[in-house]
Amino acid sequence: MGFMDKLRNEFVDIIEWLDDSRSTLAWRFPRYNNEIKNGAELIVREGQEAVFVYRGQLADRFGPGHYQLTSENLPIMSTLQGWKHGFNSPFRSEVYFINTRPVTDLRWGTANPVTVRDPDFKMVQVRANGLCVVRVIDAAIFLRQVIGTDASVDIDEIAELLRRVITLAFSDMIMETRLGVIDLQGRQVQLAEQLRAFTAERVDDEYGLAIDSITLNISLPEEITQAMTRGVARGVEESGWVNNLGDMQRYQQAKAADAMSAAAGNPGGSGMMGDMLGAQMGMMLGQQMNQQMQPGYGQGQQGGFPGYPQGGTPAAPPPPLPTAVTYHVDQGGQATGPFNVQQLQQALSAGQLTASTLVWSQGMAGWTPAGQVPALAGLFAEPPPLPGTPPPPPPNAGSPS
């Protein structure tokens, strides 16, 4: 420091702190030999507090405002320095400005995973991170426990301290709540407020800090996340409607219905034939479901089985149904079906089937036009006139005279 600087700073006239970083928590006003002129001006802005320290002892404190430093507004300093009748000469004192505004950009995270006892996955190691909003609420405690003799204190200097405190608070909170990992992820907002309270209890009286808010993001190991995803898929099978053999059969039939619907939508089953295929499969599935809903199905006593009557004794199987003849139909070079005669008649009415359409059934030597198959020839014959219907007029017949 040059001679002119020493001369200018030897007697301080204005004491103030201009800071726009929003990350500095405390700053010591610099001056030569710590000498402050009698009647000097002190300017404390909103979001600041000025603290005077004399020979290591905390003296007077000033909130936001404009002050003239005299013995009247420096009562503690007057006592410490023995000013019985005021003072006329400069006095020595350290002046610290404390930032009381919230600091919002403090990021925290668990350096090591926290072990959680989980009812489903036993022991799980979870991690957490988020943002913390912190501010100074007690300048005296903060000065003694954090500032010490530092010329300035930035948020980065206490970030590691706060991260350790938050991590320990998170671990203690998890142990107290005794929640499983699924509940932990589902209650992160509620747990964030609990974590703020746990942390605030450990930094208010100890460091003079307040924790306004904490955001919480809990992350699980990748294998646990995948297991939870698979568990959601299996939840349908493990739920109340798939808990025995009969329910599993219905579940498999539902899967089969999806597969059949997809098959009916393929190019080989497009158009009217595809719709009939889907309808036929739906009817078959409906018949099976209707059988299962009949009395006696799936109502077995102890030791019984689904589909058996009460008492666990197997019922006599019904006689086999007569086998209906079905036909495969050529649709653009691809075989579709099989279809019964009623379905082929519907296709004929819709213009999807003609006498020249190639068909094939079990026992036929090869693909044959439908009109040449004896069992289907009746579909293409002209229907007889209804009783009482007059015959059509002869060709070129004139009007009656």
Q: Are residues 180 and 154 in the same domain?
A: yes
Q: Give, in order, the Cα–Cα distances in Å from 59 to each of 79, 120, 145, 279, 358.
A: 9, 59, 16, 92, 108
Q: Are residues 72 and 138 in the same domain?
A: no
**What is the pLDDT at residue 269?**
47
Q: Are residues 76 and 109 in the same domain?
A: no
Q: Are residues 136 and 199 in the same domain?
A: yes
Find where tokens 């349908």 sit. 236
Q: Are residues 49 and 133 in the same domain?
A: no
Contacts of 139 (CB under 8 A, 6+ apart): 49, 51, 61, 96, 98, 100, 208
Q: Are residues 218 and 107 in the same domain?
A: yes
C-alpha 93/C-alpha 61 separation (Å) is 12
Q: Is the pLDDT of residue 329 over 60?
A: yes
Domain boundary among 201, 224, 247: 224
Q: Is residue 90 part of a domain?
A: yes
In percent, the amount of the chain with pLDDT more than 90 equals: 24
**C-alpha atoms less than 13 angstroms from C-alpha of 348 in its C-beta half-sphere:** 19
Q: Are residues 95 and 108 in the same domain?
A: no
Total domains in the fold of the chain: 3
C-alpha 337/C-alpha 353 separation (Å) is 13
C-alpha 12/C-alpha 336 separation (Å) is 101
Q: Are residues 115 and 180 in the same domain?
A: yes
- Helix runs in 69-187, H state only: 75-81, 139-142, 155-177, 181-186
305 or 69: which leads in pLDDT: 69
**Average pLDDT value for residue range 17-23:** 84
Q: Are residues 107 and 213 in the same domain?
A: yes
Q: Is residue 378 part of a domain?
A: no
For the chain, what is the mean pLDDT?
75
Q: Is residue 384 part of a domain?
A: no
Q: Are residues 133 and 220 in the same domain?
A: yes
Q: Are residues 28 and 50 in the same domain?
A: yes
CATH of the domain at 204: 3.30.479.30
DSSP state of 57: E
* pLDDT tens, position by position, 346-374: 888 887 888 888 888 887 878 888 888 88
Q: Are residues 109 and 205 in the same domain?
A: yes
* pLDDT tens, position by position, 87-132: 666 788 889 999 999 998 899 998 888 888 887 778 888 889 999 9
- Angle separating helix axes 155-177 and 188-207, nearest 10 degrees: 130
Q: For residue 106, what is the enclosing H or E element? A: strand 103-109
Beta strands 65-68 and 35-44 are antiparallel
**Average pLDDT value for residue range 21-27:** 88
Q: What share of the chain is helix, strand, coil (3-state, %, to 5)?
A: 40, 25, 35
Cβ–Cβ < 8 Å for 132, 106: yes
Please give the residue range of the domain that contains residue 211: 103-224
3-state secondary structure of 125: strand
C-alpha 148/C-alpha 173 separation (Å) is 32
Domain boundary among 73, 99, 125: 99
Find where tokens 């289907």 sit. 376
C-alpha 62/C-alpha 51 separation (Å) is 6
What's the distance, Cα to Cα, between the start and end of the chain in Å?
139
DSSP state of 312: S
Domain boundary among 64, 99, 134: 99
Per DSSP, the residues of 232-244 read HHHHHHHSTTSSS
Q: Is residue 399 part of a domain?
A: no
Q: For residue 369, what is the enclosing H or E element? A: strand 368-369
Model confidence at 285, pLDDT cuts 50, 70, 90, reads: low
Q: Is residue 193 part of a domain?
A: yes
150 or 308: which leads in pLDDT: 150
Model confidence at 67, pLDDT cuts 50, 70, 90, reads: very high
86 or 270: which leads in pLDDT: 86
Q: Is the pLDDT of residue 301 over 70?
A: no
Cα Rg of the chain (Å, integer): 45
Q: Is residue 377 part of a domain?
A: no
> Global pTM?
0.52
C-alpha 63/C-alpha 45 separation (Å) is 8
Q: Is the pLDDT of residue 60 over 80?
A: yes
Model confidence at 163, pLDDT cuts 50, 70, 90, reads: very high
3-state secondary structure of 188: helix
Q: Is residue 295 part of a domain?
A: no
Q: Is residue 372 part of a domain?
A: no
